[in-house]
Amino acid sequence: MDTVGMASMTQWMQQRAQTQTQQRALTTIGWEDALAGKEGDIIVPQNEEDRQKMKEWFADYMERNPAPEYAPLPNLMEEMTLEEWKTLADKYHPSSMTQKEYDQFLDDLCEMGALNPEDLADLGHSQHKPAFVKVTAETCRAYVANGAEIPYLGSVPTFDRGAQRVNLFLWAQEEKAWSYYDEEQGGWMKSHKAQAFQQIYDILEGMQRYGIGR
């Protein structure tokens, strides 16, 4: 068989394997089955008792893995000087930033006291990304975005999504829009990530107000 024929055969086998995978029926298992180590595609409680055991397991896990506690975000009016606003505005172009430029921007904000170092992971600093995302009460919350705050162009391409340059104005606008309902507080609350991007958005507005802005 020549090279062309081998390539065609390989392609056909790959397509056939993909089709067989797609056609395979998904298997469901109960919660107790999953805890016992049984494998399946979807976990579906088999009865009310099974459902209650699943709820109790997750309630216990969330109690042992609460949302992390963060220091309050700095007060920009107390921390930032007029000269610092002008320096940021002269140095950075928020409408088009590379990951390297964005990292340096966040580093500068930390040095100026406008951010805490612990905020950098949620803000997407490349040197502060966690090796893995631990499942906690915070990561399991259901978040809803305020449609009025979402950029009119929709979801913003970011570095994690393969973008080489990012419009920080639009990115911060999108990220600060997400909230979750806190049953204990009885109202909608911002996650730490949304609050951190709100801080970035306020900083960008300050750069426009006090500096030349771009």
Query: Three-class SS of residue 129?
Result: coil
pTM of the model: 0.66
Is the confidence at residue 25, as pLDDT, over 80?
A: no
Mean pLDDT, residues 194-203 taken together: 96
Q: What is the pLDDT of residue 4?
A: 46
Quote the tokens at residue 206. Answer: 């300050």
For the chain, what are the domain ranges? 3-45, 76-210
CA dist 174 and 191 (Å) reads 13
- From the list 205, 126, 201, the residue with the least C-alpha distance to 168 is 201
For the chain, the helix, strand and coil percentages under 3-state DSSP, each to the nearest 5: 50, 10, 40
Sheet of 143-145, strands arranged across: 143-145, 178-182, 187-190
Q: Report the percent of the chain where pLDDT is more than 90.
A: 40
Residue of 24 and 128 predicted with greater confidence: 128
Please determine, for residue 166, whether its predicted confidence score (pLDDT) is greater than 90.
Answer: yes
Angstrom CA distances, 170 to 30, 173, 197, 200, 213, stand at 43, 5, 11, 11, 15
Which pLDDT belongs to residue 36? 86
**Residue 12 — pLDDT band, cuts 50, 70, 90?**
low
Letter string b/e over residues 108-125, b meaning 16 or more CB atoms within 10 A of that residue's CB: bbbebebbbeebbebbbb
Residues 140 and 153: their CA atoms lie apart, in Å, by 27
102 or 21, greater pLDDT: 102
The whole-number average pLDDT for the span 193-211 is 92
Helices (H), 24-161: 31-35, 48-64, 76-79, 82-91, 99-112, 120-123
Structure token pair of residue 60: 């216990």
How many Å from the N-terminal Cα to the C-terminal Cα in the chain? 61
